[in-house]
């Protein structure tokens, strides 16, 4: 079940809280990773930063690399006409790989950093996906809170994708679409930034840097999502899904339970919106 609330009006469309109910007390690290990956792919695709959905893009790139590997050793004998076709196809494959290499490397590096971060922390408060030229002046902000973010001993790679993770991902994407996500977009390539909200006492991997007193332009209306696990010992309300502007930060007098945002130093640079897999 997902519900959407908004304060009304075009200028504040999507500014209300989007809630996604989860029929479990907590999510595994691998499940959180899958959900974030799906939302990240949705944000990139809906805002025209990738030419197709992320899964198709990954499959296409893998197939191209496999084809290139197979073509590294040419057949022993080919007719002149077949040799020309072979050389033309090889150039096409090499060109398509080159066009996608930087994008796919950026996606892979960022997701690997997220996996490592999730494996290192005992709990996570939330995730922020930010599109724009800089964190200070973003174009779009997606602020995702997990209502019961404590993890068990399992890692992000120890479990196959569960039906629960797939279900929550679909609900989350449908809820964002219903809330107007992607209705306004940017036609040029830009960057996607990833931040995680964790206790300030945690030592995240070097791929993540603390962002104390983080602020961005008040002109940007973030889209809030609360993934609410079915746990009586952990309750959330709208205050827990406050925007990044109001996120609490650590200082010399803060308690170990205080949380701050940590920014992944890796970003994903989108492609021009007219780019296609056939290009």
Q: List domains and CATH numbers for the chain.
A: 2-269 (3.30.900.20)
**How many other C-beta atoms can be found within 10 angstroms of the C-beta atom of residue 78?**
13
The separation between CA 38 and the C-alpha centre of its own chain, rounded to angstroms, equals 7
**How much is the pLDDT for 232?**
52
The listed range with the strongest mean pLDDT (107-111, 158-162, 177-181, 219-223) is 107-111
Mean pLDDT of the chain: 79
pLDDT at residue 79 above 90?
A: no
103 pLDDT exceeds 90?
yes
Q: What b-and-e string marks burial along 202-239, b requiring 16 or more CB atoms within 10 Å of the CB?
A: bebbebbeebeebebeeebebbbbbbbbeeeebebeee
Mean pLDDT of 16-33: 85
Q: Is the pLDDT of residue 12 over 50?
A: no
What is residue 25's DSSP assignment?
A: S
Residue 214 structure tokens: 């983080």
Which DSSP letter does residue 246 get? G
Tell me how far apart the alpha carbons of residues 51 and 68 are, in angstroms, rounded to a whole number.
21
Q: What is the mean pLDDT of residues 172-186?
A: 80
Asked if 129 and 196 touch (Cβ cutoff 8 Å), the reply is no
Higher pLDDT, 259 or 241: 259
Closest CA to 277 of 51, 97, 44: 51
| Average pLDDT for 14-37 | 83
pLDDT range class, residue 81, cuts 50, 70, 90? confident
Residue 275 in this model has a pLDDT that exceeds 80:
no
The whole-number pLDDT of residue 180 equals 78
pLDDT of residue 205: 72
Checking if the pLDDT of 57 tops 70, the result is: yes
**pLDDT above 90: percentage of residues in the chain:** 36
Contacts of 246 (CB under 8 A, 6+ apart): none
Minimum mean pLDDT range among 65-74, 153-162, 191-200, 225-234? 225-234
SS3 label, residue 94: helix
């Amino acid at each position: 079940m997902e519900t959407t609330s908004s304060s009304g009006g075009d200028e504040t469309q999507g500014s209300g809280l989007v809630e996604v109910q989860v029929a479990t007390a907590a999510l595994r690290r691998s499940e959180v990773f899958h959900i974030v990956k799906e939302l990240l792919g949705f944000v990139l695709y809906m805002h025209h930063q990738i030419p197709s959905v992320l899964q198709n893009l990954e499959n296409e790139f893998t197939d191209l690399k496999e084809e290139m590997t197979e073509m590294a050793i040419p057949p022993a004998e080919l007719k002149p006409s077949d040799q020309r076709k072979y050389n033309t196809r090889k150039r096409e494959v090499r060109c398509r790989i080159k066009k996608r290499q930087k994008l796919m490397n950026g996606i892979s590096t960022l997701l690997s950093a997220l996996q490592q971060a999730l494996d290192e922390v005992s709990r996570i408060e939330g995730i922020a996906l930010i599109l724009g030229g800089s964190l200070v002046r973003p174009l779009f902000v997606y602020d995702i809170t997990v209502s019961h973010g404590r993890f068990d001993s399992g890692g992000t790679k120890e479990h196959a994708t569960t039906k629960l993770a797939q279900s929550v991902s679909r609900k989350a994407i449908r809820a964002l679409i219903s809330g107007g996500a992607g209705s306004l977009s940017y036609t040029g390539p830009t960057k996607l930034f990833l931040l995680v909200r964790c206790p300030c006492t945690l030592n995240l991997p070097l791929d993540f840097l603390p962002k104390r007193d983080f602020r961005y332009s008040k002109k940007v209306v973030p889209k809030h999502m609360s993934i609410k696990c079915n746990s009586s010992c952990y309750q959330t309300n709208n205050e827990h899904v406050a925007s990044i502007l109001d996120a609490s930060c650590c200082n010399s007098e803060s308690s170990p339970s205080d949380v701050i945002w940590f920014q992944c130093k890796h970003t994903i640079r989108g492609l021009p919106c007219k780019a296609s897999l056939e290009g």
